[in-house]
Amino acid sequence: VFPRAYGVSVNFTLGNCMESEGIVPLNSSIFNAKMANHTIDIYFFTMSPPSRAALLLMRALGLKHNIKIVNVLAGEQMNPEFIKVSINPLHTIPVINDGGFILHAIMKYLVDQYAKDDSLFPRDPKKSAIVIQRLFFVSGYLFPRFVAYHDKLNETFSMMDNYVQGQTWFAGNHRIPSEWRHLLLV
């Protein structure tokens, strides 16, 4: 459900656009074939960039995975069931459970544990530091910049709410192509 966008509630099933079975190695040079029978649970939210990044890495490494959707819009990360399985005091996603090892800091662990070589995360300290620096750039600089535009986005959502006042869709009572663009963007 998008609580502000369009001023109406749109119900959808999270994860309905994702295949959740099989191995999808993106690069055979990093795929470790001996891990083909190993399965990792990932607690995942579809609209979360860190969740999608962790899933992309799992697929690049060819790791079998069980996707467990945690709807943060509904506050499911605060449910006692999630807290019990995730052992994550931050109540954040993604979280993996790799044979009982539960972790929120996923990317480096997966590469260190399962990559065929160090091409994704070099062992050389200087090269490794650059990779870590780029990872922190996303979480410490890029993402906060998105958050800084929160007020401007709320103003834009209010404008969108005005467009749909008294009607079901953005341009009346029937869908138009821009509905999908708006929905995917918001």
Predicted local distance difference test score (pLDDT) of residue 155: 85
Question: Where does the pLDDT of residue 69 fall: very low under 50, low under 70, confident under 90, or very high at 90 and above?
Answer: very high
7-117: which CATH topology? Glutaredoxin (3.40.30)
Q: At what angle do helices 107-114 and 49-60 cross, to 10 degrees?
A: 10
Residue 86: CB partners within 8 Å, gap ≥ 6?
43, 77, 95, 102, 104
Please indicate whether residue 51 is annotated as part of the active site.
no
What would the pLDDT profile of 43-63 be if each residue is shown by its tens digit?
999 988 889 999 999 998 889
pLDDT at 30: 53
Distance CA 176, CA 156 (A): 20
Among residues 48, 119, 128, 139, which one is catalytic? 48
pLDDT digits (tens, 9 = 90+) for 107-149: 999 999 998 888 888 899 999 898 888 888 888 887 788 777 8
pLDDT at 163: 80
Residue 65 forms beta bridges with which residues? Answer: 40
Residues of the chain with CATH 3.40.30.10: 7-117
Q: What are the pLDDT digits (tens) for 84-107?
A: 777 777 888 899 999 989 888 899
